[in-house]
Amino acid sequence: MSKESLANLLREERHFPPPADLAAEANVTADAYEQAANDRLGFWAEQARRLDWAVPPTETLDWSNPPFAKWFADGKLNVAYNCVDRHVEAGNGDRVAIHFEGEGGDTRTLTYAQLKDEVCKAANALLELGVKAGDRVAIYLPMIPEAVVSLLACARIGAPHSVVFGGFSAEAVASRIEDAGAEVVITADGGFRRGKANALKSIVDEALRRVTGVRTVLVVRRTEQEVAWTAGRDVWWHELVDRQSPEHDPQPFDAEHPLFILYTSGTTGKPKGILHTSGGYLTQTSYTHHAVFDAKPDRDVYWCTADIGWVTGHSYIVYGPLSNGVTEVMYEGTPDTPHQGRFWEIVQKYGVTLIYAAPTAIRTFMKWGDDIPAKFDLSSLRVLGSVGEPINPEAWIWYRHHIGADRTPVVDTWWQTETGSIMISPLPGVTDTKPGSAQRPLPGISADVVDDEGNPVPNGGGGYLVLTEPWPSMLRTIWGDDQRYVDTYWSRFEGRYFAGDGAKRDDDGDIWLLGRVDDVMLVSGHNISTTEVESALVSSPKVAEAAVVGATDATTGQAIVAFVILRGGVEESDTLVTELRDHVGATLGPIAKPKRILPVAELPKTRSGKIMRRLLRDVAENRELGDVTTLTDSSVMELIQRKLPSAA
């Protein structure tokens, strides 16, 4: 990024110290930073002892062949044993593991003892189907308890799972099954979303017309809709799993045994199968869940609102919280079914104390109105987490105020599918939090912001986020493509992991994430972050959401084009557009004033809630739209284009 980067124009003066009572009893205190700085590997060796090892590791990190890491390589453990059995053996079998809430209001409660039985039965069923350690199992399920059970059953027998998000198409399912070489698929007849029964089995059927090699499809009955049946291949879960023994002896696996493959969204090219292994991954998901959420297994009720199809669901619905023996809520459906207060109703009903959600959801709640959460008792909440995108300062403040009653810390957690666990985040009992900043690397993690040449930027500077030391839950490779692993992550800056995100350091040295580097604009020779212009727009009380892109411009190289969703009751007009341009100018400086501001009804988003700026760039540059297959709702683009007959 250029030296003239404007990356530090948006200053945040507000900050919030941790609540005294939380700080006094916090799981992790400030000395963890110091301890880890003095002896990073010793710190992680200690965190590994959070787990039960069949053979405790004597070696922490083998980095003799970088960037191929081995963590705890001579240790052996069973990941599922750590997530269920050991809590039962410790006398906590009656503690609720999962409060499941179906979209239609049906509920199920699974204690740790019951979860253990279900996981053992499913493991025995997979063994009966001939699944062996090392075989890959594809999972395409809605958000129902069988999803958690399936992941843990695979882990228990050492069969790496490859979860495909339930909203993906047959083509995406087929390519992921093929790349992973899965021979068994676990799916359901369908799931409930927006009050309707969605089909899943029929999509698997279609996918399997395109790929060979799958011998069994195990089908959970959820919606009871009609499904086509391929005799000899398809098996009902309730017929096979229910008759299995709830006893299964968990065999220990090497710490580096593959635990799962998860495909990243991949904005370009073939999706990357990110490979995670067992001991290091479980160590860091367990530690970070304990540290960042301050989770207390005997008291807290934790709710991660993500889908199990994303890494957030893997690490913070399944492995982190369950390895810690925490009680959690799992919700099947959408936040607006049957009404826009559904999330807050669930918080009230189960007394949720820790919640983990995405900025896109938080901005949607802002748009729906403050009066909706106000109708519910949210006083049980004590930590609010955010993940997936930079959270705009105004959304952060709204979250803390309207959901957290100005009492709860907000932890903005930066990480990636590739990192496996949270890397940069405040600690709720330690950090003086700043709206919009993920702030500093967790204890034991080393990150930096560097310029084009790889030199660390001083405070006040902007550049690229890099991770400077290996970490336990790092990806081990891209499945079947070691060279792509090296090229994608370890070649941009010698010896360092390139995250692909722009970042800046403020005057205190805190890190601000600025979005993917592809989303940085170059206007008249200045680097301007889309995130910051978006945050400036959202800081106007008239704007609910904003997406900003750089469009090719004859004079300035790129010109800033902003798409905004106005808050309820705000009318669009030329004066409003001028007012918003001036507002950005006053907040960030005149150079950051958008050339055009276009009010729209919706923004194009991926199924994981990320804005697809690439498509907006196509519109702004009057081009034919690129690939729209990963959009949640493709009609959104038609609406935007219709608004803009003369977009260029």
Binding region for Mg(2+): 538, 543
- Whole-number Å distance between alpha carbons of 524 and 98: 54
Nearer to ligand WT7, 84 or 383 (CB): 383
Q: What is the DSSP letter of 517?
A: G
476, 513 contact by CB (below 8 A): no
Give the C-alpha separation, 197 to 227, whole Å. Answer: 12
Q: What are phi and psi of 46, to 5 degrees?
A: -65, -40
Are 346 and 103 in contact by the 8 Å Cβ rule? The answer is no
The answer to whether the bond into 67 is cis (omega within 30° of 0) is: yes
CA-based torsion, 232, 236, 237, 241: positive or negative: negative
Question: Is there binding between residue 552 and ligand WT7 (CB under 6 A)?
Answer: no
Nearest to 8 by CA among 616, 609, 580, 503: 503
Q: Which residues are annotated as a binding site for ATP?
A: 388-390, 412-417, 501, 516
- Binding piece for ligand WT7, criterion CB under 6 A, among 98-106, 408-416, 448-456, 569-577: 408-416
Give me the least distance between CB of 211 and ligand WT7, in Å please.
Answer: 24
Q: How far is the CB of 519 from ligand WT7 (least distance, A)?
A: 9
Does residue number 390 form part of the binding site for ligand WT7 (CB under 6 A)? Answer: yes
Chosen residue from 93, 280, 313, 388 binding ligand WT7 by CB under 6 A: 388
> Is residue 614 at the binding interface for ligand WT7, with CB under 6 A as the rule?
no
The minimum distance between CB 415 and ligand WT7, in angstroms, equals 4
CA distance linking residue 565 with residue 390, whole number of Å: 18
Element housing 174 (H / E): helix 170-180
Instruction: Please enumerate, by residue number, every residue annotated as part of a binding site.
Output: 193-196, 312, 388-390, 412-417, 501, 516, 524, 538, 543
Q: Which structure tokens are listed for 487?
A: 């090229």
Cα-only R_g, the chain: 24
d(CA 499, CA 497): 6
| CB of 131 or CB of 403, closer to ligand WT7 | 403
Least spacing, CB of residue 178 vs ligand WT7, in Å: 21
Question: Near ligand WT7 by CB under 6 A, which window of 141-149, 159-167, 293-301, 384-392?
Answer: 384-392
Closer residue to ligand WT7 (CB): 169 or 265 = 265
Structure-token pair, residue 176: 């992921």
Cis peptide before 373 (omega within 30 of 0): no
| Nearest to ligand WT7 of 416, 556 (CB atom) | 416
Stretch that binds ligand WT7, among 18-26, 123-131, 157-165, 310-318 (CB under 6 A): 310-318
Contact of 289 with 321, CB cutoff 8 Å: yes
Q: Quick check: 264 binds ligand WT7 (CB under 6 A)?
A: yes
**Residue whose C-alpha is closest to residue 128's, from 205, 187, 208, 216:** 216
Answer for the pair 547, 613: CB distance below 8 angstroms, yes or no.
yes
Helix (H) or strand (E) holding 523: strand 520-523
Residues ≥6 apart with Cβ < 8 Å to 460: 8, 504, 505, 506, 507
Residue number with CB closer to ligand WT7 (388 or 470): 388
Q: Minimum distance between the CB of residue 438 and ligand WT7, rounded to whole angstroms?
A: 5
* Gap between the Cα atoms of 369 and 351, Å rounded: 22
Q: How far is the CB of 199 from ligand WT7 (least distance, A)?
A: 25
CB of 269 to ligand WT7, least distance (A): 15
- Of 155, 186, 311, 384, which one interacts with ligand WT7 (CB under 6 A)? 311
| CA nearest to 436, candidates 415, 411, 408, 461 | 411
- The residue among 86 and 504 lying less far from ligand WT7, judged by its C-beta, is 504
Touching ligand WT7, residues 414-433 (CB under 6 A):
414-417
384 in contact with ligand WT7 (CB under 6 A): no
Answer yes or no whether residue 312 interacts with ligand WT7 by CB under 6 A: yes
Fill in the per-residue mask, 495 to 514: x = in contact with ligand WT7 (CB under 6 A), - = not in contact.
----xxx-----------x-
Site membership for ligand WT7, residue 517 (CB under 6 A)? no
The answer to whether residue 413 forms part of the interface with ligand WT7 (CB under 6 A) is yes
C-beta of 500 vs 589, nearer to ligand WT7: 500
- Interface with ligand WT7, residue 307, by CB under 6 A: no
Q: Which residues of 609-635 are buried (b: 16+ CB within 10 A; e: fewer)?
A: bbbbbbbbbbbbeeeebeeeebbeeee
- Smallest gap, in angstroms, from Cβ of residue 281 to ligand WT7? 14
Q: Which stretch binds ligand WT7 (CB under 6 A): 127-135, 382-390, 396-404, 534-542?
A: 382-390
Site for ligand WT7 in 592-611 (CB under 6 A): 608
Distances (CA, A) of 341 to 336, 344, 351, 590: 7, 5, 15, 40
| Residue span binding ligand WT7 (CB under 6 A) among the ranges 151-159, 309-317, 453-461, 466-474 | 309-317
User: Contacts with ligand WT7 in 445-474 (CB under 6 A)?
Assistant: none
Residues 223/211/278/187 CA torsion (nearest 10 deg): 10
Binding ligand WT7 by CB under 6 A: which of 48, 357, 438, 467? 438
Shortest Å distance, C-beta 358 to ligand WT7: 8
Q: Smaller CB distance to ligand WT7: residue 81 or 263? A: 263
CA-CA distance, 110 to 97, in Å (whole number)? 6
Q: How far apart are CA 7 and CA 532, in angstroms?
A: 8
Residues making contact with ligand WT7 (CB under 6 A)? 264-265, 310-312, 387-390, 412-417, 438, 499-501, 513, 516, 608
